[in-house]
Chains A and B, each alone.
Chain A
Amino acid sequence: MKARIHGVGWVTPLGRDPAAVWQAIQAGATPRPGELTNPFTGRTHPIRRVDPASVADVAGRPRLRRSSVISHFAVAAALDALRDAGCDPANERVALVFAATNGGVIYTRRFFEDVSKTGAHAGSPLLFPETVYNAPASHVAAALGMPGISTTLVNDATVGVEAIAAAVELLESDACDHCLVVAAEEADWVICEAYATWRLTGEAPTIETKRESGAIFGEGSAAVLLGADGNGPEIAELHSGTLFRSIAQARTKLVRIVGNFAGDVPLVISSASETRFDEAERDVAPAARRIAPKAALGECFAASTLAQIVCATLAIRDGTSNALIPVVGFHGQVAALALRG
């Protein structure tokens, strides 16, 4: 059985409307980044922010009033993917697979800040529950009325591909009629500082310059609704994350795993974010048209991978025959996915 994508949704720094955002990405939009500041050092990091107004329709829901923005992003994208597919979880068995790399880092940092300043007794009971990786999935399931299987997966950006693999398994085992795959991330200065220690962040890079001067981080979410049959792009190939120890090895492994289906692919939706890891994709379908959504949306880890899949889906809806999605994770894994129209 092959799974098909029936619906897509996303929350991005360019907005939430799939067609408009996809058009802006293709046009090379690079919105002016905002800033996050480390309060201890004063160091600033550029960041591609989501306009809070774009998720205002979900942020006021009772369950989400105290939650962090990662859950707002996740619920909004999930809602849009279901609407796009015309799927009502009240009438179908819809499973949920949520993917994240950094998860609810804002509340985690704020909670530990209190604990570190004042002691282990000082943490806020409102913040702590939102620090668990599956809190956004819980909010999505509650908001959409999904009582069935819900799984949260964590890893570097390749977790987006692994989440699709998990969804395909659920569909194949007839555990659900549809599977909603959602990924979301939020931005915090501590995450920027973390990746800065690996020299992956940039001051103000642009992908167009090809300078590999570092990624601008982003925030947002993306969601795809998968079904076992019907219309929509098909998951033609899927390779879960495989480990690499050097960029050269990543490059070799990526070529090997996409080898079977890279020959005639007209479009590559790249995971490049202007870091040294971009090199790993260099030999993947070099003749194909290449679009790097992170130039516009920022490096959003797991959510970026789902956003790549959304881009490929929209390209296929526009008439592209098939598209390849290579993913290079910052934590030593490469993965790939191919969609066919």
Chain B
Amino acid sequence: MSYHGFKSYLPQQDLLGFALLAILLLVIFPLSMDIFRLNLVGKYLTYAFVALGLVLCWGYGGILSLGQGVFFGLGGYCMAMFLKLEASNPEATKIQSTPGIPDFMDWNQLTELPFFWQPFHSLTFTLIAVIVVPSIFAYFIGVAMFKRRVGGVYFAIITQALAAILTILIIGQQGYTGGVNGITDLRTLKGWDIRSDEAKYILYFVNVAILFLCLFAAQYVRKSKLGRLLVAMREREDRVRFSGYDVSNFKIFVFCLGAAFSAIGGAMFTLQVGFMSPSFVGIVPSIEMVIFCAVGGRLSLLGAVYGTLLVNWAKTSFSESFPELWLLAMGGLFIAVVLAFPNGLAGLYQTWVAPRVDKWLANLKTPRPLTTNPLESRS
């Protein structure tokens, strides 16, 4: 990284891609859509955070986690707990038998706020918790699994089991978590009404800004020595280990990073959609997020964003017109992506479009040799 400077961090092609995405998200979408549709796009973009984490974990590191919904959910629930506490101040809840606690606790005969809800009165704590809680959780899972060299398929199954456990736990502990309905009826953030159209516009732009921060962070990881090591580990783990690297630490780091991204996505989801429920935690949403990443291209950061937007757009339009066809289409998509285009949209772009763009770029300037890098040529 340091030996090439900015040019190697963001080569011209990537720069162009980032700029195009920025124009699409910041100019074209807000100008061409009403607030309802824009809010929907914002919701999809929160899944893109997860897909981004999966590109690093799965595409680069070769670690397939089927439990990213756990981290998405943890981040989302942290945010929702803060918003719920603000929405259930003593005046708003004075008809309850215990005013000042969230309504679902009152329905479940709880008479005081459980201890783990207490710190969520503070916004600062909440914002820290959104990132730190899922990261610590991911760290523990990572240490337990990767230090013992559990990987691949076993890791996928165990993360999937964790997603199932968390869902059952949230649904079962209705009094503490809101049960199957989740935490609903969220109104204000420090007195600012998040349900107004104006707030939705602002939240959309905040969401896009944070997404770009995460994209830049992911790009940094991808281009740094760590990114190279991840690819090397994915291909020949033993050789990296014999070269003197502690493989498990790199895996733990990238898994935690993916978890943190997902958690940010979850928090932004809660803010934009106004509720959080266990249906975004379990096995099905976790696997769906993997398919967003796979459709976009498991090796492409921008591909993950486009893949998420495209699959979700298809899902919404399909479910509106032919709900019974959606599952068939989704299943077909899984199979087609795996069998026919393992590198997703980004792979198709690389084979068919990228050579032309290169030519065009080269024609724009005085011809100069293209810098190709064998390790990165597939991305």
Q: Bound pair: A and B?
A: no
